[in-house]
Structure 1
């Protein structure tokens, strides 16, 4: 980037005349008297950039605004590992005015798309412009308002899509484990079916009388029940029991004893207890009975794995449908606790890192009338912020209670808290304490809009080191003005 110095130079007069002619044609400067315009042009800097150069970077001090004379620029904002294009600016547009007005860091990056030229208006010159031309001040404020609305709309949609992507990634992670368990169980079951059929044929060929056949069925039922709720054994004890049982099975001449011993130990059998349970069978029948017992237990165990895995998948899919209120009316009465639980289920991948969730739910909390899917976005944003504040480890408290005409939800974390000097800004759009690229500062702003503006509720917070509480109070019946589209 090349700056033409502001101090007098041989070409300064010609430059000022060019700048005055150009700026004088723009609506922003038309109401400015010629003498004031020329004085302003004597104070601006002529800046030239090559294609690809950055005029201003997100986070830089907001110390000037720029008027584009030649070329084209794009305005982008970091969002995670991607850049969101907010706008393109062409000759006659001005940029950088928002940060200059607020005396705040730049909220976006501006990059030249082609070889470009701009006029830089510094802070002192900007103040003089606003003082000398109320029309210019009005034009700048109108432009700022339009750009804020446009930028917010783009980034709110981007924030929603990013949140959806995060939820989808977490859901995929959660679905992967039960899906893998189902597939693994189905594959093992397919491989075991032939052995199971052979064991059943051999068992039936024994021609057991009714009493012994009933005993075998009872032992099978006990094995399946124990397998479904196994007792936790220390590895050393498990290994000792497996070795003892393997030795006894080999002594009986049971085929594949080394594969069957672990199954029987997992079902709670020891060599002594199994020998005692099978005492009513003839010695010649024991190999076939034990083989049948172990294989059928293994089959039932695999079926249990498949059932649990598919149930978990069904639970997750159901949570997503409830969370999004798919195919349901936008406004309805909902169970706040169910919404909180669905949110926790969808964010479960983040809770596994070391977060203790404490639920302090009021049993008599009434159902409330809300825009259901938007309310779940409130819980998601608040819980997600709490997890970020705790660094993924700590205690998360969800508390609910009723007040006259209201249902109240508190989301409490034991993170470091919010600094007192920034607490008054946390609901502002684009305000964030996170590093550039890791947050665009709309999460709490969206929460505020949904709770306060759309539902006519209340949103409060208290924060100190070790405890931050966000309190959402929502009317039990949605006010007519809130329900209107």
Structure 2
């Protein structure tokens, strides 16, 4: 959780209920609010020519789009509820008041933004330079690490093959074929169609 819910309520954030597949905010629109997920989940996407590229999936406690709020730029992706979702929405001015007045909130925000930048840098390199099998494996390992899952215990990847394809920019058939090869090589496990790494 980036900003404590008590602070969000103290600063009069709104609770918005968003139905599955409805938009939280659109790519290109001006960022004038801070968003934090109370329940549900949201995907961050770009769509073009019928294709979709997924940047990330966000869950309870995650913030959305604060980098655009802080930089005063329009959103560069669209946020879509994956299922019925409730978000806190806080005005820019009140968000900035919290960040200035509460160092813990500011530090949490900086930590999360730093972790996201690291994730994006590693994924950009993997997507740009690696073969499909290495892209998939790099993504799965990085996602497990990004979710702070400890060590060598098996971690269930919460994505479908299509969602993995959308996140690394390759065809779903390529993901399916390479997931089978990775399992055959012992680099991951498939149990009841679920991927574990």
Q: TM-score range by the shorter chain?
A: 0.5 to 0.7
Which has more radius of gyration? 1
2:29 is aligned to 60
Distance 2:114 2:80 in 1: 22
Corresponding position: 1:39 with 2:39: no
Shift of 1:157: 3.9
Distance 1:145 1:79 in 2: 28
Corresponding position: 1:69 with 2:38: yes
Structure having the larger proportion of residues in helix: 1
1:354-409 CA-partner distances (Å, limit 9, x unpaired): xxxxxxxxxxxxxxxxxxxxxxxxxxxxxxxxxxxxxxxxxxxxxxxxxxxxxxxx
2:74 is aligned to 105
Shift of 1:73: 1.0
Shift of 1:130: 0.5
Structure having the larger proportion of residues in strand: 2
70, 81, 91: which is aligned to 2:60? 91
Flag structure 1 segments of 5+ consecutive residues without an equivalent: 1-25, 165-485
1:53-102 CA-partner distances (Å, limit 9, x unpaired): 01112211121121111111111234665222221111111111110111
Distance 1:47 1:123 in 2: 16
84, 87, 94: which is aligned to 1:125? 94
Q: What RMSD in Å do the two structures reach over aligned CA positions?
A: 2.5
TM-score by length of 2: 0.58
1:329 is aligned to none
Alpha carbons 1:86, 1:154 under 8 Å: kept: no
Instruction: Report the CA distance shift for 1:27/1:60 in structure 2 as closer, same or farther (over 3 A).
Output: closer
Distance 1:159 1:79 in 2: 19
1:82 is aligned to 51
1:269-284 paired onto structure 2 within 5 Å: none
2:108 is aligned to 139
Higher relative contact order (CA 8 A, sep 6+): 2
Flag structure 2 segments of 5+ consecutive residues without an equivalent: 132-197
Alpha carbons 1:59, 1:108 under 8 Å: kept: yes
2:3 is aligned to 28
Instruction: Report the CA distance shift for 1:151/1:107 in structure 2 as closer, same or farther (over 3 A).
Output: farther
Shift of 1:37: 5.4
Distance 1:38 1:84 in 2: 34
